[in-house]
Amino acid sequence: MVKIPKSHPRYWSLYYRERIIEGMEKGMTAKAGLIAHGRGEAFDYLIGERTIEPAKKAMKAAVAKLLLAKHPVVSVNGNVAALVPRETIELAKALNAKLEVNLFYRTEDRVKAIADELRRYDPEIEILGVNPTKRIPGLEHERGRVDEKGIWKADVVVVPLEDGDRTEALVRMGKFVITVDLNPLSRSARMADITIVDNIVRAYPRMTELTREMKDYSRDELLGIVQGYDNGNVLSGVLDHMRNRLTRLSEGGVWRKKELD
Ligand code: ATP
Ligand code: MG
């Protein structure tokens, strides 16, 4: 990995960019994944590169739903494996959820590279999606392949950084779909049941922490959180946040300012 000086004002952004490049070099991340990452970065600038209130609300509802689930599954793709391999395992373990490698540009080599990477962090971990035998209806062959013991059977799935078409197909299958997506206007963001508009590098550690906190909540309490949740409202909240922030910045001026709030 290219060494980035810690003193660089955009150290973390460059650090994760390098992680994505490294993910590609390891054979995990597709070229299109680089583009998707850049799109995410652009939206992160707009929200201010921090976890905003609507995302906190969505995370709480997502964790409640996952704790109530019978067969929760956390899906992993090439960008996720490059950015948050350890954090994904930690989240799945805290939730007692299955992990499934699920790729838009599926190749056996890429699946294997991702599974190998995850096993570096936990050699014992069960990884589904290596030999998927089922297909999501409405998607053509390779794009729709899922594991019988994983997404196929799941009631609640977390599909971060996912393509909109596949998100919609999962919703049509009757799955409860949770996504993490920095773009509140993407089809995934609009189609999912719960949309967490946050960078996955911030969202996953927070969700693991939340899971540990909420594990002792009663069923009724968890149900209350899920029932009181409105994804449309939360997406509007994200757009309001962006609009208000841009208005504030525009009025306060950004020219040669060191920090933006
Ligand atoms: P859609 O098909 O849903 O309309 P898209 O084609 O723009 O959207 P994809 O490339 O299919 O999206 O999926 C990647 C999504 O993940 C993008 O919306 C991008 O903003 C988002 N994304 C990229 N990096 C991150 C990240 N680190 N954290 C959260 N979201 C991210
Ligand atoms: Mg897409």
pLDDT in tens, 117-132: 999 999 999 999 999 9
Phi, psi of 29 (to 5 degrees): -100, 135
Phi, psi of 176 (to 5 degrees): -90, 115
Domain boundaries along the sequence of the chain: 53-239
Q: Enter the pTM of the model.
A: 0.97
Q: Does ligand 1 lie within 6 Å of residue 168's CB atom?
A: no
CA 220 to centroid of ligand 1, rounded, Å: 34
Nearest CA to ligand 1 atom 26: 199
Check pLDDT > 90 for residue 261. Answer: no
- In the chain, the percentage of residues whose pLDDT exceeds 70 is 100
Question: How wide is the angle at C-alpha 140 spanned by C-alphas 136 and 142, nearest 5°?
Answer: 85
The pLDDT of residue 1 is 78
The pLDDT of residue 230 is 98
- Which residues, in sequence order, are CB contacts of 92 under 8 Å at separation 6+? 74, 98, 99
CA 83 to centroid of ligand 2, rounded, Å: 19
Q: Are β-strands 98-101 and 176-180 bridged in parallel, bridged antiparallel, or unpaired? A: unpaired
Q: Does ligand 1 lie within 6 Å of residue 200's CB atom?
A: yes
CA 39 to centroid of ligand 2, rounded, Å: 11
Residue 115: which pLDDT band, with cuts at 50, 70 and 90? Answer: very high
Check pLDDT > 90 for residue 3. Answer: no
DSSP string, the chain: -----TTSTTHHHHHHHHHHHHHHHTT-S-HHHHHHHHHHHHHHHHHTSS--HHHHHHHHHHHHHHHH-SSEEEEE-HHHHHH-HHHHHHHHHHHT-EEEE--SS--HHHHHHHHHHHHHH-TT--EE-SS--EE-TTS-TGGGEE-TTTTTT-SEEE-TT--HHHHHHHHHTT-EEEEE-S-TTSHHHHHSSEEE-S-HHHHHHHHHHHHHHHTTS-HHHHHHHHHT--HHHHHHHHHHHHHHHHHHHHHH--TT-S---
The pLDDT of residue 259 is 87
Residue 239: which pLDDT band, with cuts at 50, 70 and 90? Answer: very high
Q: Closest ligand 1 atom, CA of 162?
A: 13
- In the chain, the percentage of residues whose pLDDT exceeds 90 is 93
> Structure tokens of 26?
């390891």
CATH of domain 53-239: 3.40.50.12640
Check pLDDT > 80 for residue 141. Answer: no
Cα(85)–Cα(20) distance, integer angstroms: 12
| Mean pLDDT over the full length of the chain | 96
pLDDT in tens, 73-108: 999 999 999 999 999 999 999 999 999 999 998 999
For tokens 């409860």, the residue is: 176
CA 10 to centroid of ligand 2, rounded, Å: 27
Please tell me the number of the ligand nearest to residue 187's CA: 1
Which residue type sits at 58? A
Check pLDDT > 90 for residue 2. Answer: no
Write out 140-189 in H/E/C secondary structure.
CCHHHEECCCCCCCCCEEECCCCCHHHHHHHHHCCCEEEEECCCCCCHHH
pLDDT in tens, 38-81: 999 999 999 999 999 999 999 999 999 999 999 999 999 999 99
Q: Does ligand 1 lie within 6 Å of residue 186's CB atom?
A: yes
The pLDDT of residue 157 is 98
